Amino acid sequence: MSEKKGRILVVDDNEDILFALKLFLKPHTESITTVNNPDQIPEYLKKEDFDVIMLDMNFSQDASSGQEGFDWLKRILTIDPQAVIVFITAYGDAEKAVKAIKAGATDFVLKPWQNEKLLATLSSAVSLRRTKLEAGHLKSRQQELCEIIDRPFHDFIGDSPEMKEVFSTISKVAKTDANVLILGENGTGKELVARALCRNSSRKDEVCISVDLGSITETLFESELFGYVKGAFTDAKGDKPGRFEVASNGTLFLDEIGNLSLPLQVKLLTAIERREITRVGATKPTPIDVRLICATNNNIHQMVEEGKFRQDLLYRINTVEIHLPPLRERTGDIGILADHFLKIYSKKYKKNISRLSPIALKKLNLYSWPGNVRELQHALERAVIMCDSNILEPDDFHLSSSRGKQNDVELDNYNLDEIEKKIIIKVLKQNQGNITQAAKELGLTRTSLYRRMEKYDL
């Protein structure tokens, strides 16, 4: 123990032993505490964490059997199951040493001790204690992560019929190898759906590789997705596998696939159809086996009609489509989401904020949320940071009034159903009853608009 290492507690009823150990160990340890009465052990263990407890085996009540020492060993391990205990005794023998180790002690030191041997024993004991604590911490974190992962759709917050439909679709398709296309506006949680599919798939023990196609330039597309061999271009100093190879036997998540140009769509389609890729500069293809999940915030079906996206590629990637509704189509979830983010950020910023006021929640419900859940999350974070009370009020939320274009609708009450009904009537009139145009202006699908018209008997 060349450097000062460990916090040591020494328990012995012999004051001379305590003095000698303290004098000898003080230069070698972070701290050393001595106790002459074992009844004080629980009190000291409550006050401080010790790396090693040096425990006398024989006290005044029983000077030779060692039973008192064994009794205290048991009590200490009850208080701290990860305690590291080294017995010290003047009556040591092989039989007691074996019994002590079996009972939970780490080691055994005889009086009078050899200085070098004592230091080596304590150094090993301190290292063992820290290893135990690290292992316990890792086990605790692993259990927590497993509990989180085992909760279905733990990343999603929502009770609305629209979200329940999303959950149902994920449950049905996750365990299959079907290619999935996730559609939805920015901020609706497309990546969360991809994660849920990966976690619940038959390939969950394999890798799940995510690629943001919107950030990959045309010149880098092939080398990033298909890889390259040494010498393929100036900076190719060695072979490098692409994302398809790395994800083989697992899942490949291609985000923002709607941003791909037509020439790159052809290359991607070829790889998917042939189930093989050819590295840049290579002559032989490499077989690949990936489960493909794609996502886009573009209206990809409209892109097909306009000739901007290949129909054959769309057929390949959308065996199953999952449409994530924008937040304005599931306003019933706003309160649940707001409470969820409030708890997260109150804890993060050490604020004692208990809830949103009813009028603050009404303000959130009236807003159109063009940035969807992500915008709501940021709004809650800012509100928590700026709030000086224990309740969030409307003034704590700074929302862009230009985005909620309801100013020209005359409101005589704050009933949400009445407000929505008035807006739908107004937009239908403006579009002369054209459902497609009205739905587009309202930011709804035709199905959602029909559902609302039925609800309000329009």
- 416-455 has CATH 1.10.10.60 classification: yes
> Kind of pairing, strands 320-323 and 180-183?
parallel
161-325 matches 7-142 in CATH topology: yes
Tens-level pLDDT at each residue, the chain (458 residues): 456 778 999 998 888 889 999 999 999 899 999 999 889 999 998 888 899 999 988 776 555 666 788 888 889 998 888 899 998 877 655 577 677 788 888 888 888 888 888 999 899 999 888 888 887 766 655 555 554 444 445 557 888 888 999 999 999 999 999 999 999 999 999 999 998 999 889 998 888 889 999 888 888 899 999 999 888 888 788 888 899 999 999 999 999 999 999 999 999 999 999 999 999 998 899 999 999 999 999 999 999 999 999 999 999 999 999 999 999 888 889 999 999 999 999 999 999 999 999 999 988 988 889 999 999 999 999 999 999 899 999 989 988 653 444 445 555 666 777 788 888 888 887 776 778 878 888 878 878 888 888 888 88
88: left (phi over 0), alpha (psi -120 to 50) or beta: beta
Say how far residue 125 (Cα) sits from the centre of its chain: 35
User: Domain 161-325 falls in which CATH fold?
Assistant: Rossmann fold (3.40.50)
Q: Which residues contact 68 (CB under 8 A, 6 or more apart)?
A: 38, 57, 58, 59, 61, 62
Query: Nearest 5°: CA angle at 431, between 430 and 435?
Result: 135
Angle between helices 446-455 and 435-442 (to 10 degrees): 100
User: Length of the chain, please?
Assistant: 458
Q: 328-403: which CATH architecture?
A: Orthogonal Bundle (1.10)
Query: Nearest 5°: CA angle at 254, between 249 and 255?
Result: 150
CA 423, CA 346: separation in Å to the nearest integer?
35
Within 10 A of 40 (CB to CB), how many other CB atoms are there? 11
C-alpha distance from residue 95 to each of 65, 76, 118 (Å): 11, 22, 20
For residue 63, the SS3 value is coil
Lay out the sheet containing 291-296: strands in order across: 208-212, 251-255, 291-296, 180-183, 320-323
For residue 428, the SS3 value is helix
Contact 35, 59 (CB under 8 A): no
Query: Hey, where are the domains in the chain?
Result: 7-142, 161-325, 328-403, 416-455
Q: Of 17, 10, 55, 66, whose CA–CA distance to 35 is shortest?
A: 10
CA 358, CA 364: separation in Å to the nearest integer?
10
Please, what CATH class does the domain formed by 7-142 belong to?
alpha beta
C-alpha distance from residue 101 to each of 63, 95, 98, 127 (Å): 20, 10, 5, 17
